A and B are shown apart, each in its own frame.
Chain A
Amino acid sequence: MIILAIPLIPVLVSLVALLTPRLQVIRLASTLGGLTALILTMRVAQMVSRHIALTVWPHWIGVDGLSSLILVLQGFVAMTATLYSWGYMKQVAAPHPRREQQFYVNLNLFLASLFMVPIFLQPALTWVAVELTTVLSVFLVGFENTPKALEAAWKYAVITIMGATIAVLGIFLLLWGLSTLHVTIQTWATLKNAAPEMPVALLKLAFVFIFIGFGTKVGIVPMHTWLPDAHSQAPSSVCALLSGIEVSTILYVIMRLWPVFEQIPGDFAQNWALVFGLISVGTAAFLMVQVRDFKRLFAFSTVEQMGILLVALGLGPAGHYAMLYQLLTHAITKSLAFYSAGAVFLATSTLDIASIKGLIRISPLAGFSLLFSGLAIAGAPPFAVFLSEFSIFRASLTSRHILVLALLLAFLTLAFIGILRHLNHMIFGKPTHPRITLPRSVTLALFISWLPVLVFGVYLPASVHHLLALTMLALRR
């Protein structure tokens, strides 16, 4: 029952936001909703660690290790994002209280759709939830109503909905495979069990549709064109949700079907993942050197990170643990990076890298946070991403993918240089803007987000390790 409460809470909050015009009440309700969602998702994860899987409604709704990992990450980013929005939106939407109210209605509905993706046991229902995440976040992307934001929202809607429609044909093909084998229950588990009996041609075609379709929403190159636009134009708390957790949530769907596709002979699926993963990492790394907008810098870093995750998936069983670890560290670090970027925007009112200098004196907190979150997402020690990227390198060595390792190292170094070059320009030098103090909720959200990034960089608690190990069960054939 507790599982059903998770998506229900944001729905209730959005109702509150719809019914009362009092912004202080709405902000409080939204923040409390985020906190409750985090507590509930952690409780679910704890229960899953003990019982391996929880079922609410057999063949319809339930969670296992993988879905509970995604839920906890969603809960964490939802909590920090709602808290961050309190002070951030107050400043950004200051003269338009009505728009701020609309923002909270939209934000919470979007959160509800995100929470729905991992709890369904049927691919068809999960697809519906994925479609909902797009439909409900379009107005969040276009919130600013500037020509650029509207352009981003339009591209986001058109390209990702097209992707989801391509993916649905893949799901139909898999269901066809089930029905020819006279399997009437259409869940992830039955698909996994029936896959060896299905014709290879059918699995291949279904894989291509699902990989391209959902891959569009994950931001895999060359279907990534909408991502830097959408993930940079939205308000920062929404960017944190989109980049930190939404893309991983969609990748979750591909991961769910991975044991099915891994059974295609000749490492078909693995090779696709390796090739498209490396192309994504490489393209993003080159573009990160050229960007002029610091939110786009982090958006391209998301494309890069999704590429790394795909490469780890393509390494086969050796890469599974490292991949899940990377999924975790990316979610916590990328949301932090966008909160820092938002703080910089509050301090300077611009996204243009060239017109900011001396950030460390304009707002020491925003400056330090941006510098270190940039270092953290680039994979510098002693932050969390360093350890997870290192375990991916190790996995590629043990699975003897030396070329993959070499390319990955080269691209990551390039991305590292790209990030540092831009941040260096922004942070040091003579300040271009007057000194300001950040809103309290923004400061608090930054501190909370820093905690796991620092802790997981030096130490992985036994409970988290246990959850990751459980998660691997879902990826196994």
Chain B
Amino acid sequence: MDQLMGIHHILVDVNGLVGALFLLSAVVLMTARQAQSVLRLFVRQSILLAISAFVLGWLHHSAELMIVGFITIIAKAILIPQLLTRTLGPDIRSRRELEFIVNTPVSLLIALGITVLSYFFVAPLLMGSGQDILVNLPVGLDVLLIGVYTLAVRREAVPQMLAMMAIDNGAFFAGIAITTSSAIIELAAGLEGVMVVLVAAILTRTLAQHMGTTEVGALTHLKEGESE
């Protein structure tokens, strides 16, 4: 019994550590310049999500969460990077963003603000809830919001697409702690994530073919009040 309790405590600590690394990955993803390194970070972030799902699945004896973990690994850590590598040539993946819209120190400050804010948002819900929710809910929300920010300031197609998937990771990091029925959604979301990336990758390739650039931040043809 003591041994079991010991394992339980260790797993809770592991989940806390995973939560910290998960948050860190979102912040690094926000500042990484090269498309290839953003992709690598996204894969690591997805693996962290899967580890958290496995740990929580073990703690709550939930087969659904184990399934969520497996789907995450297959869809986000294997299929999505494969698809991206195949659909887009090496030249697009190696593109760098030399100038950010917002410079890195300011972005870090904003990320800090978002972190404080997301704890503030969920604080009223955390009273009396378990150790796992205490970690996953605020961290998940935080990663989601940092992802939205990253999406807004990125100018290249591939990092923007991966920021979109990182938002998804954030939502599910919170989701696995608060509901066990996330398996069916994760199954669908995993499949759809693959579809989304495929659609976005084909679109990126078409953009590159027709406009010679994948800098989506430069797409500003459609607006009001200016002549062609």
Could you list which residues of chain A lie within 8 angstroms of chain B, going by C-beta atoms? 124-125, 127-128, 131-132, 135, 138-139, 142, 145-148, 150-155, 157-158, 161-162, 165-166, 168-169, 171-173, 175-176, 179, 186, 199, 201-202, 205, 228-229, 232-233, 287, 290-292, 296, 352
> Could you tell me if A150 and B207 are in contact, using CB atoms closer than 8 angstroms?
yes
Question: Assuming A162-B164, A172-B179, is B185 touching A135 (CB within 8 A)?
Answer: no
B143 CB to closest chain A CB, in angstroms? Answer: 11
Interchain CA distance A311-B128 in the complex, whole Å: 38
Interface residue B12 (Cβ < 8 Å from any Cβ of A): no
Interchain CA distance A168-B171 in the complex, whole Å: 7
Interface of B: prevailing SS: helix
Flag the segment in B16-24, B71-79, B218-226 that touches A.
B218-226
Contact pattern, B 195-217, Cβ under 8 Å of A = 1, otherwise 0: 11001101100110011000010
- Chain B residues with Cβ under 8 A from A124's Cβ? 181, 184-185
Question: Assuming A150-B206, A157-B196, A158-B160, is B222 touching A172 (CB within 8 A)?
Answer: no
> Could you tell me if B178 and A175 are in contact, using CB atoms closer than 8 angstroms?
yes
Interface residue B167 (Cβ < 8 Å from any Cβ of A): yes
A179 CB to closest chain B CB, in angstroms? Answer: 6
Interchain CA distance A142-B216 in the complex, whole Å: 15
Interface residue B13 (Cβ < 8 Å from any Cβ of A): no
- Chain A residues with Cβ under 8 A from B196's Cβ? 135, 157, 161
> Could you tell me if B151 and A201 are in contact, using CB atoms closer than 8 angstroms?
no
Interface residue B122 (Cβ < 8 Å from any Cβ of A): yes
> Could you tell me if B174 and A169 are in contact, using CB atoms closer than 8 angstroms?
yes
> Could you tell me if B188 and A128 are in contact, using CB atoms closer than 8 angstroms?
yes
- Chain B residues with Cβ under 8 A from A166's Cβ? 144, 148, 167, 171
B46 CB to closest chain A CB, in angstroms? Answer: 14
B149 CB to closest chain A CB, in angstroms? Answer: 11
Partner of A168, one of B124, B160, B178, B185: B185
Interface residue B102 (Cβ < 8 Å from any Cβ of A): no
B217 CB to closest chain A CB, in angstroms? Answer: 11
> Could you tell me if B151 and A162 are in contact, using CB atoms closer than 8 angstroms?
yes
Task: Indicate the member of A138, A158, A202 with the most B CB atoms within 10 Å.
Answer: A158
> Could you tell me if A135 and B175 are in contact, using CB atoms closer than 8 angstroms?
no
- Chain B residues with Cβ under 8 A from A152's Cβ? 222
- Chain B residues with Cβ under 8 A from A205's Cβ? 121-122, 125
Interface residue B182 (Cβ < 8 Å from any Cβ of A): yes
- Chain B residues with Cβ under 8 A from A165's Cβ? 144, 164, 167-168, 171
Task: Indicate the member of B168, B181, B225 with the most A CB atoms within 10 Å.
Answer: B181
Interchain CA distance A152-B192 in the complex, whole Å: 21
A183 CB to closest chain B CB, in angstroms? Answer: 11
> Could you tell me if B221 and A147 are in contact, using CB atoms closer than 8 angstroms?
yes
Interface of A: prevailing SS: helix
Interchain CA distance A175-B167 in the complex, whole Å: 19
Question: Assuming A158-B161, A202-B125, A352-B228, is B179 touching A139 (CB within 8 A)?
Answer: no
Interchain CA distance A176-B178 in the complex, whole Å: 5
> Could you tell me if A172 and B182 are in contact, using CB atoms closer than 8 angstroms?
yes
> Could you tell me if B179 and A158 are in contact, using CB atoms closer than 8 angstroms?
no
Interface residue B180 (Cβ < 8 Å from any Cβ of A): yes
Listed by A's residue number, 10 A-B pairs whose Cβ atoms lie within 8 Å are A145-B210, A150-B207, A154-B219, A157-B199, A158-B200, A162-B164, A169-B141, A175-B178, A228-B222, A290-B225
Interface residue B189 (Cβ < 8 Å from any Cβ of A): yes
> Of all chain B residues, which has the CB nearest A153?
B203
Question: Assuming A157-B200, A162-B167, is B174 touching A172 (CB within 8 A)?
Answer: yes
Q: Beyond A169-B140, A201-B125: 15 further Cβ-contacts under 8 Å?
A: A131-B192, A148-B221, A150-B203, A150-B210, A157-B196, A157-B200, A161-B164, A162-B151, A165-B144, A166-B167, A171-B185, A172-B179, A172-B182, A199-B125, A292-B224
**List of 3 A-B pairs having minimum Cβ-Cβ separation, nearest first:** A176-B178, A201-B124, A128-B188
- Chain A residues with Cβ under 8 A from B210's Cβ? 145-147, 150
Interchain CA distance A176-B25 in the complex, whole Å: 26
- Chain A residues with Cβ under 8 A from B170's Cβ? 169
- Chain A residues with Cβ under 8 A from B188's Cβ? 128, 131
> Of all chain A residues, which has the CB nearest B179?
A175
- Chain A residues with Cβ under 8 A from B122's Cβ? 205
- Chain B residues with Cβ under 8 A from A296's Cβ? 224
